[in-house]
Structure 1
Amino acid sequence: MPPLKTYQIHHEYNANCHNGNPSPNQNANSNANANPTSSDCDFFGASTPGAVLGAAAIAAQRTNLPSYCNAQYPFKVLSNLNQLREQGRFCDVEIIAGEATFSAHRAVLSAASAYFEAMFRPELGLNEVKQKSVVLHTIDGDILHILLDFIYTGRCEITQSNVQELLAAADMLQLNEVVDGCCEFLCRELHASNALGILRFAEAHNCESLAKSALNFVHANFPAITLEDEFLETPQSLLSQLLNSELLRVDSESQVFQAALRWIKHDVTQRRRYVFDILSHVRMALVPVKVIDKALKDDCRDMSVKIALRSICRDIASKRGQLVPLRVCPRQLAKKNIYIIGGSHRDTPRTWNSADCIFETVAKFDIFRREWTQTASMEVGRILPGVSALNGKIYVVGGERGSQILANGEVYDPQNDVWHPIAPMIVPRCEFGLCTMGGNLFAVGGWVGDDIGGSMECYDPDQDVWELIGNMPQPRFSMGVVSFEGLIYIVGGCTTTTRHLPDLISYNPVTKEWTQLARMKTARCQMGVAVLDRYLYVVGGSSISQDILSSVERYSFDEDKWSMVCALNVPRAIPAVAAADGLLYVAGGDQPCEVNFYRAQVTINAVECYDPLSDTWKNCPDLPVSRSEAGAVVV
């Protein structure tokens, strides 16, 4: 219970009269009349000299009297009642749970809980009305102790170890405040490893707000959730509901197919009969044939499941749709649009830092329709900004405009096609890294004024606040930054001593630890980076010899190993790179051009995509206008 505070008296009359101090008039008359009559200090007007008030007038006057309220009084009474309970005074009932027995007051229990109020109401005629002891068979003694403490104090400690039993018991006893507290606790604890369990638990106890929060979390983090052991135990009915949802936020329908297949294989003897039912909720027409073939060769050993998959493939190829629906429209919240944001344009050879224009515009590429459109423009045009997606929205911060390095930022809502400003970073920066992790944005390094920055800061979108969280081992700019499974990865770039780095390091925001990892095969900066299928891809950039690179290499998070993959069709530096629908997209960038014996840069509009299954690059529709130094994000 919080300490009692000094209460305040709310009134309009003289406070000195109320607290016993004489008023100025009383001081003046104190010698004349040491025993003042009611007429000398009539606070309430009940006996005004020379006036006789009727009952109606007095009643009317009382309705306008100032009220007195002591906000701490309920706490005092509750505290005293709890002391009486602890001392065993005036208790008239014993509550038994397991081997524990607790003394309590029927009136207090009834006032707090509709369950107890019904139990002790005489007119209902329950046996407990006359019993000295009441047994609660389904509640643990430790849990009942916590709930009784809450009834008498308004406080209880909710932990990971007791929250489920506590919520179930509070739900039974109709202690709605404890139920709400447990739901809030579980909402804060939502994670890929427990979200499905919390969803099922919330539905079992009719906790609608918790169930909604858990379901939203599952939709937003479906790919990560399907990799957890809890997913494998999901009931078939719930799995069908999830697979049928338009709200799954997935990179590609292949992720949904692989999740369904993983669930079936976990208990193939019992689940093979669900193959057609489960896969009917997967948009199989959007799953590449190569993905299905790979599943048949590598992932599926059960003959009945193989036969079912081959039948589905033939059904799709013939376009009959007899076994599975031939839906070709992506899910509503599938990541199907690539946004190319900001950047610069140079259509004639210029020096490195010279640009014809700096873009406020945003180009959007629909990967299913394969067409470019333009969305609402940013408030501020910028080159080399930090760009990242969080909770279905796009954040753009920092960058450079002219000779000014920016700290401000904006957030874009694709649903409403509008931009809104957000709080500026603490440190203005460009050519830095921005990534999303754990519901926050992380800004790393970059150019900060006339120097290279080593600081890092974290943005809380709920509070709209940036906070400095530490420094890199060495200041760095023009590097690639991504997040993956709770770690931030920083690759390549430049330092004060080295123009092009091959280094890859990781940072754990929880432990604050830095780890040196395997180095790239080619030192580079000004490259594009993206994560696709548990690999970090590094695309193009510039090398130590100042050449613009076409080479592409990828890092295996699982093996801590780099390998080369097929090179770009078009060499480029500072391209916009993003991963979507199982492919890697590269848009725009700079190409070298020599004019009058000096090297310059021109922007390009070429777009190509990489298929890791075939290790090939294919050309895509060009950007509407060539651009470089832009950010890319998929929503």
Structure 2
Amino acid sequence: MAPLKFCTSDKKKQFLTRDVEDVDDIEFFQQTYICKILDNLNAMRTNGKCCDLEIIAGNKSFKVHRAILAASSPYFQAMFTGELAEKNKDSIELHGVPADIFEILLEFIYSGLVYINQNNVQELFSAGDMFGLTDIVESCTKFLVRELQPQNAVGFYRFADGLNAKDLKSEAEKYIQLNFVRVSKEDEILQLNEDVLMKFISSEYLRIDSEQQVLEFSLRWINHDVSNRRNFIFEILSHIRLSLIPLEILNTMISDTSDSHVKLGLQTYYNDIVEKKYRLVSMNSEPREWAHRYIYVLGGSKREMNSFYEAGLLVDYLGLEKFDISAEKWIRVPEMSIDRLMPGVATLNGQIYIVGGEACSYSLSSCLTFNPLTSQWNHVANMHTPRCDFGLCALNGYLYAVGGWVNDKEPNLCDTMERYDPKADQWTQIGKLSEPLFSMGMVAHEDLLYLVGGCSSTKVILKAFKSYNPRTGEWKELPEMKTPRWQMGVAVLGDYVYVVGGCCKEDFLDSVERYDIKENKWSFIPPMKTARSGAAVVALNGLLYVIGGTRTHSRNFYRMQCTISSVDCYNPVTNSWSDCPPLSESRAECRAAVI
């Protein structure tokens, strides 16, 4: 390659030469140039310069460049390059597209910018789909996916199905499956036609606590239009795993059914199970693939009687084990990297989160996740405040951490609240309690958090009960429990909040109270077989499980608090307790999760 020369034509020519390496041409791309061209074209459009076409949408006229629209939209490209009548027209009227929506689309075509909100997203989606503006469709899809809620998921699904918008339909379908229990309680889902209904109730991917929830929803769907839907009862029942539903519940449903045709269908399937014919119902039905089928017990410690005599009160930290409700057996799982007492545990997006807790007399702020599919542990962002024996719940895609024990130095209790966003992997402080609390119970139900009992900074054991609305940040006082208690277990089963065992002063409790959310009142149920505190409590498959805990052991003149391995199970249909297979090791101050 010859030396590069810069020449000037003058009477006195000057030559500047410089040797350069023998290389290929170098490509330079100027992003700002494209933006400049778009800005200039948009300015020309708004000023009516060089425009060769008028488009009328609604009651408004728009001056545009035919080539720009053809290059941006397959719809306009076919119109202007094919043999359509509009090809040579100077003015075209668009039907079915409001003026304000077309104006937004024009702004996007000429600038690449679009502003989407709840008021325009549906019409933008439809118009973008009509004109083949895939970027608009993708942007609207992302917006709507972020807005998915139990109240609108079915509406989004039907909207996407009508437009054949596969991505939005897939996301809405997945959301309905993962949140089926809540979505099935909305009126919107009752509008589904029979084909879509059968698709959902036959799916392996319904995230449910029990098969009873699918049956209850299906009967609700039939009763919404019983005269036109009663004939689907046998087809519906063929998709429900009735052998997984207790016979007492099936019998109650038959008694509560008023329509004779629906009652006949239920009775026929019921008889098939009772008479053990199994012509209609499989006797070996497995829970659905995404149904909650395991109880995971995490953290805690073991303090057993022999330890007292041999070497004082020895504390052995325990890791993780799970209970298979189908096989009715406990299984050991990979241990945590840090064993901990009284952590917060919750399930979110198919992961188990174990947050905070106590290790070696120090409160922790660390947060781990466990993936049941891969059996892998991962670290995520730490809380702002180390805490143990606190409230932790998952609600509407977030984790909420409330109160807890901080350390042994004053002030040793915490009144702060934090919220974790898994998408941003970030904790945010969101408010405070009216007073510091620890060892209380906290559960989530239908957009609200419920906080019950606990111990205050003045060592007062509480029977207070209140709800928190994360949308408004407001606390609401509710009727108090009948018994003050702390170190109890709490769970939601049906429309009840159950508060199980715990301590009242020096006494271990076997009593169980439940709060009727609809009736706004407390009542007692039969006591547990064993008084205990520090137990893990969960609801699954229509039953309440109380796992492990601490009770007082006496031998001769010695009294000590020891951990137990027994598991009690409460059936609300029979209003009775039964024994379940015990833990492989006794433990207390642990937590449980269902997944």
TM bracket, shorter-chain basis: over 0.9
2:379 is matched with which residue: 416, 421, 425? 421
Indicate yes or no: 2:211 matched with 1:250.
no
Q: Which string of whole-angstrom CA distances, capped at 9 and with x for unpartnered residues, describes residues 336-388 of structure 1?
A: 1111111110112779xx85343342121111211111111111111111111
Q: Which string of whole-angstrom CA distances, capped at 9 and with x for unpartnered residues, describes residues 484-520 of structure 1?
A: 1111111101001243100011111221111111100
User: How much identity, in percent, do the aligned residues show?
Assistant: 43
Q: For the residues of structure 1 that align with 2:578 and 2:314, how far apart are their CA atoms?
A: 29
1:624 is matched with which residue: 566, 570, 584? 584
Does the 8 Å CA contact 2:156/2:169 hold for their aligned counterparts? yes
1:6-21 pair list within 5 angstroms: none
1:392-403 pair list within 5 angstroms: 392-403=350-361
Equivalent in the alignment of 1:588: 548
1:560-599 pair list within 5 angstroms: 560-594=520-554, 599=559
1:167-566 pair list within 5 angstroms: 167-298=125-256, 300-326=257-283, 328-348=285-305, 356-450=314-408, 451-544=412-505, 546-566=506-526
Structure possessing the higher radius of gyration over alpha carbons: 1
Structure 1 residues 341 and 604 mapped into 2: Cα distance closer, same or farther (>3 Å)? same
1:20-31 pair list within 5 angstroms: none
Which amino acid in the other structure matches residue 154 of structure 1?
A: G
Give the secondary structure class of the aligned counterpart of 1:452.
Answer: coil
Which amino acid in the other structure matches residue 205 of structure 1?
A: L
1:615 is matched with which residue: 548, 558, 575? 575
Give the secondary structure class of the aligned counterpart of 1:519.
Answer: coil
Which amino acid in the other structure matches residue 102 of structure 2?
A: L
Does the 8 Å CA contact 1:276/1:324 hold for their aligned counterparts? no
* TM-score (norm: length of structure 2): 0.94
Which amino acid in the other structure matches residue 129 of structure 1?
A: K
2:76 is matched with which residue: 116, 119, 122? 116
Structure 1 residues 36 and 522 mapped into 2: Cα distance closer, same or farther (>3 Å)? farther
Structure 1 residues 288 and 36 mapped into 2: Cα distance closer, same or farther (>3 Å)? farther
Q: For the residues of structure 1 that align with 2:12 and 2:114, how far apart are their CA atoms?
A: 53
Does the 8 Å CA contact 2:344/2:591 hold for their aligned counterparts? yes
Equivalent in the alignment of 1:39: 15
Indicate yes or no: 2:81 matched with 1:105.
no
Q: Which string of whole-angstrom CA distances, capped at 9 and with x for unpartnered residues, describes residues 184-213 of structure 1?
A: 011001011111221222233232222221
Q: For the residues of structure 2 that align with 1:633 and 1:421, how far apart are their CA atoms?
A: 18
Which amino acid in the other structure matches residue 622 of structure 1?
A: P
Q: For the residues of structure 1 that align with 2:509 and 2:582, how far apart are their CA atoms?
A: 20
Does the 8 Å CA contact 2:299/2:320 hold for their aligned counterparts? yes
Q: Structure 2 regions of 5+ residues with no counterpart?
A: 1-5
Q: For the residues of structure 2 that align with 1:466 and 1:596, how far apart are their CA atoms?
A: 51
The Cα shift of 1:112 comes to: 0.9
Structure 1 residues 597 and 360 mapped into 2: Cα distance closer, same or farther (>3 Å)? closer
Q: For the residues of structure 2 that align with 1:327 and 1:344, how far apart are their CA atoms?
A: 37
Does the 8 Å CA contact 2:231/2:261 hold for their aligned counterparts? no
* TM-score (norm: length of structure 1): 0.88
Q: For the residues of structure 2 that align with 1:592 and 1:36, how far apart are their CA atoms?
A: 110
Does the 8 Å CA contact 2:75/2:131 hold for their aligned counterparts? yes
Q: Which string of whole-angstrom CA distances, capped at 9 and with x for unpartnered residues, describes residues 421-449 of structure 1?
A: 22221111111111101111111111012
1:41-56 pair list within 5 angstroms: none
Give the secondary structure class of the aligned counterpart of 2:437.
Answer: coil
Q: For the residues of structure 2 that align with 1:36 and 1:356, how far apart are their CA atoms?
A: 101
Q: Structure 1 regions of 5+ residues with no counterpart?
A: 1-17, 19-33, 46-59
Give the secondary structure class of the aligned counterpart of 2:374.
Answer: coil
Equivalent in the alignment of 1:48: none
Which amino acid in the other structure matches residue 262 of structure 2?
A: V
Q: For the residues of structure 2 that align with 1:355 and 1:434, how far apart are their CA atoms?
A: 29
Q: For the residues of structure 2 that align with 1:460 and 1:536, how far apart are their CA atoms?
A: 26
Give the secondary structure class of the aligned counterpart of 2:305.
Answer: coil
Q: For the residues of structure 1 that align with 2:55 and 2:313, how far apart are their CA atoms?
A: 79
CA RMSD of aligned residues (A): 2.3
Structure 1 residues 418 and 36 mapped into 2: Cα distance closer, same or farther (>3 Å)? farther
The Cα shift of 1:148 comes to: 1.2
Which amino acid in the other structure matches residue 296 of structure 2?
A: Y
Does the 8 Å CA contact 1:345/1:355 hold for their aligned counterparts? no
Which amino acid in the other structure matches residue 459 of structure 1?
A: Y
